[in-house]
């Protein structure tokens, strides 16, 4: 095993508001070694991207947040943290099923369904990322989902197998440590290649919604800051932040 996370602590909690919030409130002072993780059986106020909530049936899924101190990543390159974590979760899911992809900016998909979401919260001082909280919600053993969720899936639904959440967490921690070692070694090209290989709809003509209009076009890449590079049907290159462009799902 790697050595970056060698002193990591695992903090297991029953019920919390949000594992990201716990880390931010209690441990942002760097009292925890890198790679430490807060994992909860149940979140009352699980948070998703933007204003959304993360809903997860208690005891069935992985809801956890890791803490890292990636001071070597300039704020202008902060999306590499997201790429690193997305790749780690995609690697993990790929151990059990194929057709795994990363839907920009932070979703992990299997075919056209969402199996995991990430909430990455960085604290930046003078252009340096001091602390990054890596919140991961992975659907593992949940069978039924609320009808309000557009397209959820889980490892159980895909494989018809029940998983041990402790084992899943341990694998994730090991894979994340490996992926983080690539980031620490500043292997930007390797990370980019791996990410683009898994990027959902990369270079495929598809429909999107931009400011209420349907537009055909293709994803051409992602900027280091995280903006999506998009080519519309007039071959113009446009850049979008999160929520400025929506995927039209089939
Ligand atoms: C999304 O898809 O919108 C992101 C979901 C992120 C959910 C995880 S669950 C663990 C961590 N704690 C939270 O409150 N959110 C993240």
Report which of 17, 200, 111 is spatially closest to residue 26, judged by C-alpha positions: 17
Q: For the chain, which domains are there?
A: 10-198 (3.30.930.10), 206-247 (2.30.30)
Centre of ligand 1 to C-alpha 78, Å, is 18
Whether residue 43 contacts residue 59, with contact meaning beta carbons closer than 8 Å, is answered with: no
Summarize the confidence of residues 69-97 as an average pLDDT.
97
CA 109, 70, 192, 3 dihedral sign is negative
pLDDT band, very low/low/confident/very high, at 150 (cuts 50, 70, 90)? confident
Would you say 199 and 105 are in contact if contact means Cβ atoms under 8 Å apart? no
Give the pLDDT of residue 2.
Answer: 73
Residue 152 above 70 pLDDT?
yes
- Mean pLDDT within 14-33: 92
What does the pLDDT read at residue 228? 98
Q: Is 41 in the pocket of ligand 1 (CB under 6 A)?
A: no
Query: Is residue 114 lining ligand 1, measured as CB closer than 6 Å?
Result: no
Q: Is the pTM of this model over 0.75?
A: yes
In contact, 54 and 117? CB cutoff 8 Å: yes
Torsion, Cα 112 113 116 117, to 10 degrees, reads 70
Task: Quote the CA–CA distance of 62 and 94 in Å, as a whole number.
Answer: 16
- In the three-class reduction of DSSP (H, G, I as helix; E, B as strand; rest coil), residue 42 is classed as strand
Is the pLDDT at 32 greater than 80? The verdict is yes
Nearest to 100 by CA among 200, 203, 250: 200
- Mean predicted lDDT score pLDDT of the chain: 96
CA-based radius of gyration for the chain: 18
What is the pLDDT at residue 249? 85
Find out whether the beta carbon of 52 lies less than 6 Å from any atom of ligand 1: yes
């Amino acid at each position: 095993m790697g050595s970056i996370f060698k002193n990591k602590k695992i903090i297991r909690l029953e019920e919390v508001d949000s594992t990201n919030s716990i880390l931010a409130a209690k441990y942002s002072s760097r009292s925890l070694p890198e790679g430490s993780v807060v994992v909860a059986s149940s979140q009352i106020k699980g948070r998703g991207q933007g204003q959304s909530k993360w809903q997860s049936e208690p005891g069935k899924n992985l809801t956890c947040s890791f803490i890292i101190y990636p001071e070597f990543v300039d704020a202008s390159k902060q999306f590499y943290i997201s790429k690193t974590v997305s790749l780690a979760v995609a690697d993990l899911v790929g151990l059990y099923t194929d057709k795994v992809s990363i839907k920009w900016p932070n979703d992990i998909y299997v075919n056209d369904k969402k199996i995991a979401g990430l909430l990455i919260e960085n604290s930046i001082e003078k252009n340096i990322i001091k602390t990054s909280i890596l919140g991961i919600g992975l659907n593992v053993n949940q069978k039924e989902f609320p009808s309000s969720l557009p397209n959820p899936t889980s490892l159980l639904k895909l494989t018809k197998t029940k998983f041990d959440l402790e084992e899943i967490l341990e694998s994730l921690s090991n894979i994340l440590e490996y992926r983080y070692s690539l980031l620490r070694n500043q292997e930007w090209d390797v990370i980019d290649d791996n990410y683009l290989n898994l990027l959902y709809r990369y270079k495929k003509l598809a429909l999107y919604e931009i400011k209420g209009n349907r537009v055909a076009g293709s994803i051409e890449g992602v900027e280091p800051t995280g903006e999506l590079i998009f080519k519309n049907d007039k071959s113009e290159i446009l850049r979008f932040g999160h929520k400025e462009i929506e995927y039209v799902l089939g």
